[in-house]
Chains A and B, each alone.
Chain A
Amino acid sequence: MTTGPGDFTERAGDQAYHVRPYRPPVNLLWWLRRRTYLFFVLRELSCLAVAWAVLFLMLLVRAVSEGGDVYAHFVTWARMPWIVVLNVVAFAFLMLHAITWFNLTPAATVVRLRGQRVPPAVIAGSAYAGWVVVSALVAWIVLRQ
């Protein structure tokens, strides 16, 4: 019997015996093994949509500040098919981020009122309500005449 790394010797009284534990390797595609793992990785990758949104917003801000023509040029650029597709995908991932974030918020925030724990659904509900309010506010500010 050959020895290898990770083997060790145990003693029981006078008897010594060799233990060779088997360590299964972790596949690089471990996250494809389960639907929940895949969902987790997609959720984490939504951070790329967040980074893209920041970049896009900065391009927008620069276009707006430079005035009419530059802004029109920006809108034309943003209308290009591959930019639209990119933004559709980014929007989907941003929604994934927001929904998973608000659903998981109750796990970290435990609030006790008068000795009772506030139900997780109330915490998540408040987060969603805040989301609606902020979105409505932003839309109103941007779109009002």
Chain B
Amino acid sequence: MTDTIALQVTRYRPDRETEPTVEEFAVPLHNDWAVLDGLNHIKDNMDGTLSYRWSCRMGICGSCGMMVNGEPKLTCASFLTDYGRGPVRVEPLAGFPVIRDLVVDISDFLRKLPKVKPWIVREDEEPVGAGEYLQTPAQMDAYRQFSMCINCMLCYSACPVYALDPDFVGPAAIALAQRYNLDSRDQGAEVRLDLLIHPEGIWGCTFVGECTRACPKGVDPAGAIQRYKLTAALHSVKSLLLPRGAR
């Protein structure tokens, strides 16, 4: 008879509730089970109506972000045995509207992301015949860390500024903008700067640093944002002091 561990799961069924409730399930405590495995066990064997997002179950798709004992985590990367005898509280990702059970509305982020133009922007395109845009290892190193983002939004969940002001562009979006700004093949730094240097852009960030602590991929969005602030501020000063022609 395997040990069990209690999973206290948030339920929210908008068709019959106005507020979320908590339901407790006893899940087998296997050494190699992640919290996600526990949720799957509940859905397969106990309550098929439990709703949550997941996909790759190996920490690369970014779908299964939830609050586990109050911390934003990928449920596929958090193991039941990490939580001792339990109980393990599983709640929807903080800072986002809850659609149902553990499923949150991420459309705000999906709207913000394309605005920062997270792709290579070129002013002048090379003809295909000229070959690829070459890049040295050192040049790739300059942005590599920021390219690790899997859009899991744990950073948004950790960020108190985003919780207080959903207009804030947010850690991942700015880190991704930096990923392309620092890419030697990209020529879109000016365009992105224009989009992000406003009070709800990079200046909304007060360097709490929780986003970096929450990130499962080591992206360090807080560092990306601080560097961007410096770049943006110096750029603004330069454009104020120098006439248009000299720039």
- A binding-site residues for B, Cβ under 8 Å: 1, 6, 18-24, 26, 30-31, 33-34, 36-37, 40, 44, 104, 107-110, 112, 115-117
Q: Is the CB of B160 within 8 A of A104?
A: no
Can you list, as one digit per residue, whether each of B79-105 has a CB less than 8 Å from chain A (1) or not (0)? 000000000000000100111000001
Chain B contacts of A104 at CB under 8 A?
207, 209, 226
Chain A contacts of B223 at CB under 8 A?
107-108
Report how far A88 CA is from B104 CA in the complex, Å: 47
Within 8 A of A (CB), among B102-124: 105
Q: Is the CB of B222 within 8 A of A107?
A: yes
> Can you name 17 A-B pairs with beta carbons within 8 Å?
A19-B99, A21-B98, A22-B12, A22-B14, A22-B18, A24-B94, A24-B98, A30-B164, A33-B70, A37-B160, A37-B210, A40-B206, A40-B208, A40-B209, A107-B227, A108-B227, A110-B227
Q: Is the CB of A36 within 8 A of B99?
A: no
Chain B contacts of A44 at CB under 8 A?
206
Number of interface residues of B (CB under 8 A): 31
Report how far A1 CA is from B14 CA in the complex, Å: 9
**B132 close to A (CB within 8 Å):** no
Report how far A26 CA is from B164 CA in the complex, Å: 7
Closest chain A residue, CB of each to CB of B141 = A117
Can you list, as one digit per residue, whether each of B196-229 has a CB less than 8 Å from chain A (1) or not (0)? 0000000000111110010000001011001101
Question: How far is the CB of A115 from the nearest CB of chain B, in Å?
Answer: 4
Q: Is the CB of B99 within 8 A of A108?
A: no
**B20 close to A (CB within 8 Å):** yes
- B binding-site residues for A, Cβ under 8 Å: 12, 14-15, 18-20, 70, 94, 97-99, 105, 138, 141-142, 160, 163-164, 206-210, 213, 220, 222-223, 226-227, 229-230
Chain B contacts of A110 at CB under 8 A?
227
Q: Is the CB of B15 within 8 A of A1?
A: yes
Q: Is the CB of A22 within 8 A of B160?
A: no
Report how far A6 CA is from B96 CA in the complex, Å: 13
Chain B contacts of A37 at CB under 8 A?
160, 208, 210
Q: A37-B208, A104-B207, A107-B223 known; A22 and B19 CB under 8 Å?
A: yes
Report how far A26 CA is from B20 CA in the complex, Å: 15
Question: How far is the CB of A109 from the nearest CB of chain B, in Å?
Answer: 7
Question: How far is the CB of B96 from the nearest CB of chain A, in Å?
Answer: 9
Closest chain A residue, CB of each to CB of B222 = A107
Report how far A20 CA is from B142 CA in the complex, Å: 44
Question: How far is the CB of A116 from the nearest CB of chain B, in Å?
Answer: 8
Max chain B Cβ within 10 angstroms of own Cβ: one of A20, A109, A115? A20
Question: How far is the CB of B216 from the nearest CB of chain A, in Å?
Answer: 17
Q: Is the CB of B213 within 8 A of A36?
A: yes
Report how far A18 CA is from B229 CA in the complex, Å: 42
Q: A21-B105, A37-B160, A44-B206 known; A108 and B230 CB under 8 Å?
A: yes
Report how far A51 CA is from B152 CA in the complex, Å: 40
Q: Is the CB of B15 within 8 A of A109?
A: no
Q: Is the CB of B226 within 8 A of A108?
A: yes
Question: How far is the CB of A76 from the nearest CB of chain B, in Å?
Answer: 40
Question: How far is the CB of A140 from the nearest CB of chain B, in Å?
Answer: 33
Q: Is the CB of B97 within 8 A of A108?
A: no
Chain A contacts of B94 at CB under 8 A?
24
Chain B contacts of A20 at CB under 8 A?
14, 18
Question: How far is the CB of B207 from the nearest CB of chain A, in Å?
Answer: 7
Chain B contacts of A108 at CB under 8 A?
223, 226-227, 229-230
Q: A36-B210, A37-B208, A108-B227 known; A22 and B163 CB under 8 Å?
A: no
Report how far A116 CA is from B226 CA in the complex, Å: 20
Question: How far is the CB of B41 from the nearest CB of chain A, in Å?
Answer: 25
